Amino acid sequence: MTPNNNNTPTADWSVIFDVDGTMVNNSRYHKNAWIELGHRHDIGIDEEFYMTHIHSKSNVDIAYTVFADMVGVEKGLALGEEKGAIYREMYRPDVKEMPGFTNLIKQLTAIGVQCAAASNSPKPNIDMVLEELNLAQHFKVIIDNGQVKQGKPDPEMFLTAAKQMNTPPARCIVVEDSISGYLAAEAANMPYIVITAGSYIPDLKKAKKASALHKDFTTVTIEKLKNHLTSQ
């Protein structure tokens, strides 16, 4: 271990947390925001369309893959920003942690384990969650979709977080809830666990390489996390 600014030895391993569906169970708010956006612009976005074409993708990916033929990429990007504003208006009054998350993150940072947040979401969405939970100070690194060329399932986001924490990828454990996150962790050669309470259940069959599945953080301990690293 090496000392950090708080004179607490820095551990030789780190944890990278996804935000949406992991720190908070907010998937229905994202879905409802996209559906509301569709209503406002007369775009056919219903629950089925959302799950088929939008779920687990970044706004940039959605602009290029969903909106490109419908309204054009430029307008698609603008629509993504508008959706973000709708989502934040809907969700801010209801933000609450995934059970056990605050306790775990405080325990990790207290013993010198560096933690990162890495999300396909834009910075304002991440900031809102961390501010409402009052946990921003516990994250050494925060990576949003504007800081990388490729979002998940590309591994760039996780590898960037590891580099900024000066932690080898194999010594980082990822905490995720969605298929894009599983694939990104696997591509980064990082062990990962899944929080299932916020997951889209059919996606769980894709988490074949997950070290463990937990409903929420009440059953996740520091010892269990570290054991997933040593079992690689």
Q: What is the pLDDT of residues 140-179, one digit of tens each?
A: 999 999 999 999 999 999 999 999 999 999 999 999 999 9
d(CA 232, CA 215): 23
d(CA 28, CA 198): 9
Which pLDDT band holds residue 217 (cuts at 50, 70, 90)? Answer: very high
Sorted by sequence, the CB contacts under 8 Å of residue 182 that are 6+ apart come out as 153, 176, 192, 194, 203, 206, 207, 209, 210
Give the chain's mean pLDDT: 93
Mean pLDDT of 195-208: 92
Phi, psi of 143 (to 5 degrees): -115, 120
Sorted by sequence, the CB contacts under 8 Å of residue 21 that are 6+ apart come out as 27, 177, 178, 195, 198, 199
By mean pLDDT, which of 27-31, 48-52, 68-72, 107-111 is the weakest?
Answer: 68-72
E strand or H helix at 107, and its extent?
helix 101-110
Quick check: 1 pLDDT over 70?
no
31 closest CA partner among 131, 219, 178: 178
Mean pLDDT of 65-92: 92
CB atoms within 10 A of CB 68: 14
Which pLDDT band holds residue 57 (cuts at 50, 70, 90)? Answer: confident
Strand-pair partners of 192: 174
Q: Which two tokens stand for residue 128?
A: 């809102």
Reduced to 3 states (helix: H, G, I; strand: E, B; else coil), residue 176 is strand
Mean pLDDT of 78-87: 94
